[in-house]
Chain A
Amino acid sequence: MVQIAIKSNYLRRSNSALFLKQWGNYSALKPTASSIRFVMLLFFMILFHFSSHAQSDLEAKEIIRKAEEKTRGSSSFSEMKMTIVRPTWTREVGIKSWSKGDEYSLILITSPARDKGAAFLKRDREIWNWQPTIDRVIKMPPSMMMQSWMGSDFTNDDLVKESSILEDYTHQVLEKETIDGRLSYKIELIPHEDAPVVWGKIWIWIDVKDFIQLKTAFYDEDDYLVNTMLGKNIKMMGGKLLPSRLEVIPADEEGHQTVIEYKILAFDKKMEDNFFSVQNMKRVR
């Protein structure tokens, strides 16, 4: 009987409370850990696509500036689906995101079911995570920002610092090439010697007529191709002609791919600063 009492105590208490309080926290971290990898890329995507930059008078730089301008707005809203493709499996994440300038962004996970409703708020260097299942806001350590995403497709280190595609590189138009039937400038970007970037070289193909970034190839310092990003399914979104599908393809990993499909993209909608608040993170849907 004693044994049974202890056992049932074990189940009643230990199986619940005790370590399990701890486990509860641990499992509470799980959706965080799995979502965060997506989210870090997203912050990057938002920075990469909706950032504003200073002007330049050089031709190549001017072309890039125009392409950047196309994806830039004082604010943005997007609804997208990200698909991670690997040789033996695929996973999808649905996301809504809002951003204002480079400082504020808010991301809501809309799928899969396990993570639905989780939200992330970024204000300058601070990140908060809303976990609806436990009714709690968790402050994220800044090192989350540095985390690599899905192995090595991207490291966030350069992504976070990525403000510099205009300032940290010298730009040169190499030639004109046709990408998906569109005549494009092929521009080479070489980083300045002391620039805080990880790439040794970047080639960017930009549509001659509409200044759409159609293709980007990222090379490491030994001049090996690391990633290729393709902009496809070009259509009018948010009043601009833009690729609605982005594919990121790592060079030496066969069958690996990350696809982002924009369902909605809108620019320059009026957003108050306090839209990007802990309070609103719980309410957006």
Chain B
Amino acid sequence: MLPKLSILPFILLLLPSFLLSQNEEEKNWALTGYLKNLQTWLFFNDFPQDAFLQDNLIHNRLNFTYYASEQWTIRADLRTRAFFGDLVRAQPNYADLIDNVNNDYFDLSVVLLDRPSWVVHSILDRLYLEYAKGDWELRIGRQRVNWGISTIWNPNDVFNAFAFTDFDYEERPGSDALRVRYFLDYASSFEIAVKAADRIDETVIAALWKFNKGNYDFQILTGLVQNEWVIGGGWAGNIKSAGFKGEWSYFVPLEERGKNSFALTVGLDYVFENGIYGNIGYLYNSNGSTNANIVGLFDFELSAKNLYPYRHALVLQASYPITPLLNGGAAVIYSPVDVHPLFINPTITYSIANNWDIDMVGQIVMNDQQDGYKSPLQAIFLRLKWSF
């Protein structure tokens, strides 16, 4: 027993150096990932009472790729999170809430620990086999089918439900799907994707054609999204040296009772010579409300046909490298509706070392209340990230 125990730390010590010593050219696999700590502070002002909550999230991600041959690749990404803090304590069924967010066809998640003040959850959010040869690419399994082309909002992103729990989930959830792509030339392709489901009204089956013309990327899509026909399109090009992008989708329910939905977004982005990145965008959402109160901001089902709770949304975003290591930025979203909801999202990111980053993110919600224009809610997030 003793020799075994003493050998384990030795192996653990050797493992990183083994991984590092592998020659990049020779090895047929890759393991990357990160470890993040996210500290959350929430301030509620008269919403409906004053309150302050603290929450913590330790978040690990492992991206594993195995290059079986020139054509075949296997990908598996594991996402593990440990939650603790006021929110976990306040919500008795917190683990279930976290776990139920993933409404995937295959259950690839597990609650590792469920205590009153601690929840640990693990999920394989990518698990696919890819075959690529010549102009063909075939992918089967849990994958991200990302069909967005514009910068802020993506009405063409029809494969994703967006019911995810963490704001710092850049990777986004995957879909259990089959995807076949044929590349027509350097920036043109045709693809078909099908999402696994038991019933036709739960599935997504759609085709996307991308092409490049006159320095513009264009795309057109059509298909069936949870019992609604969708037709959509998008573009990414430029007006002079500013990026000009847009995307729209039109949904028609197969059942007579439902109503049609239309979403359209356009945006411009530009990098100034001093390094300031600026982005301005607009979203029209036919499902959005014009008279909902601010709670609507926290209580709506986000999907490609309902990307923001209000009918109109304007976004202004800017970022600036204060020093090469320190980046400051802010995004502001405003909706010209009854309560004039305003969402302010300042961010500061700092590179501590080659693989270490620290981010500070604020989220401030403003609205027109009976007693004036006020902020019912502010949130501050502090995130430390180590990438490997």
Q: Is the CB of B271 within 8 A of A26?
A: no
Q: Which of B63-93 contact A (CB under 8 A)?
A: 67, 87, 90-91
Our pick among A18, A25, A123, A274 for the contact of B302 (Cβ within 8 Å) is A18
Residue A270 is within 8 A (CB to CB) of chain B in the complex:
no
Judge if B51 is at the interface, Cβ distance under 8 Å: yes
Given contacts A19-B345, A20-B167, contact A148 B273 (CB under 8 A): yes
Once the chains bind, are B325 and A143 in contact (CB under 8 Å)? Answer: no
A209 contacts B by Cβ under 8 Å: no
Whether B340 sits at the interface, judged by CB under 8 Å, is no
Task: A138 to B151: give the CA distance in the assembly, Å.
Answer: 8
Q: Is A7 a contact partner of B167 (Cβ separation < 8 A)?
A: no
Partner of B243, one of A7, A24, A112, A141: A141
Chain A hits for B236, CB < 8 A: 138-139
- A33 to B269 alpha-carbon distance, docked (Å): 13
Q: Given contacts A6-B47, A141-B242, A141-B269, are A17 and B164 in contact (CB under 8 A)? A: yes
Is residue B369 within 8 Å, beta carbon to beta carbon, of the partner chain? no
Contact with B along A84-125 (1 / 0, CB 8 A): 101001011000000000000000001111101100000101
CB closest residue in chain B, given A115: B387
Q: Point out the residues of chain A lying under 8 angstroms from B101, CB to CB.
A: 12, 16
Q: Report A-chain residues with C-beta under 8 Å of the C-beta of B183.
A: 277-279
| Residue among B53, B132, B277, B357 having the largest count of chain A Cβ atoms under 10 Å | B277
B163 touches A140 (CB 8 A): no
State the CA gap A116–B307 with chains docked (Å).
Answer: 30
Chain A residues touching B, majority SS? helix
Q: What chain A residues lie within 8 Å of B67 (beta carbons)?
A: 285
Residues of A within 8 A of B135 (CB): 279
Which one, B189, B240, B243, B349, contacts A140 given CB within 8 A?
B243
B169 touches A33 (CB 8 A): no
Stretch in B111-119, B193-201, B314-322 touching the partner: B314-322
Judge if A144 is at the interface, Cβ distance under 8 Å: yes
A17 touches B324 (CB 8 A): no
A19 — which chain B residues lie within 8 A by C-beta? 167, 331, 333, 343, 345, 363
The residue in A2, A11, A34, A140 that gathers the most chain B C-beta atoms within 10 A of its C-beta is A11
- CB interface residues, A 22-56, toward B, < 8 Å: 22-30, 33-34, 37
Q: How far is the CA of A184 from the CA of B148 in the complex (A)?
A: 55
User: How many residues of chain A have a CB within 8 Å of chain B?
Assistant: 74
- A142 close to chain B: CB less than 8 A: yes
B354 touches A13 (CB 8 A): no
Of A126-134, A215-223, A242-250, which binds chain B?
A126-134
B187 interfacial contact with A, CB 8 Å: yes
In the complex, what's the smallest C-beta–C-beta distance from B275 to chain A, in angstroms? 6
Q: Is the CB–CB distance between A12 and B97 below 8 Å?
A: yes
> How many Å lie between the Cα of A10 and that of B40 in the bound state?
12
Contacts of A10 in B (CB 8 A): 42, 298, 377, 379
Closest to A1 in B: B90
CB contacts (< 8 Å) of A148 on chain B: these are 273-275
Asked whether B186 lies within 8 Å of A276 as measured between CB atoms, the reply is yes
B90 touches A86 (CB 8 A): no
- Nearest Cβ on chain A to B379's Cβ, whole angstroms: 8
Contact of A139 among B240, B245, B357 (CB under 8 A): B245
Point out the residue from B42, B146, B162 that lies within 8 Å of A17, measured CB to CB.
B162
Are B307 and A21 interface neighbours, CB within 8 A?
yes
Query: Which of A84, A146, A278 makes the CB contact (< 8 A) with B273?
Result: A146
Contacts of B363 in A (CB 8 A): 14, 19
| Interface flags, B348-360, vs A, CB<8A=1, else 0 | 0101001101010
Complexed CA–CA distance, A181 and B331 (Å):
55
| Cβ distance A57 to chain B, nearest Cβ, rounded Å | 38
* A283 contacts across to B, CB distance below 8 A: 132
| B169 lies within 8 A of A24 (CB) | yes
Q: 4 closest Cβ contacts across the A-B interface?
A: A141-B243, A20-B167, A139-B236, A277-B186
Jot down 21 A-B pairs with beta carbons below 8 A, ordered by A. A7-B51, A8-B90, A13-B299, A22-B153, A22-B345, A24-B167, A26-B347, A33-B277, A33-B327, A110-B24, A117-B32, A136-B148, A139-B236, A139-B245, A142-B240, A143-B271, A146-B241, A150-B324, A274-B186, A285-B30, A285-B67
Chain A residues proximal to chain B, CB less than 8 Å: 2-4, 6-30, 33-34, 37, 84, 86, 89, 91-92, 110-114, 116-117, 123, 125-126, 128, 133-136, 138-148, 150-151, 155, 157, 273-274, 276-279, 283, 285
Given A3-B49, A7-B42, A141-B242, 4 other A-B residues pairs in contact with their CB atoms under 8 A: A10-B298, A27-B168, A148-B273, A285-B67
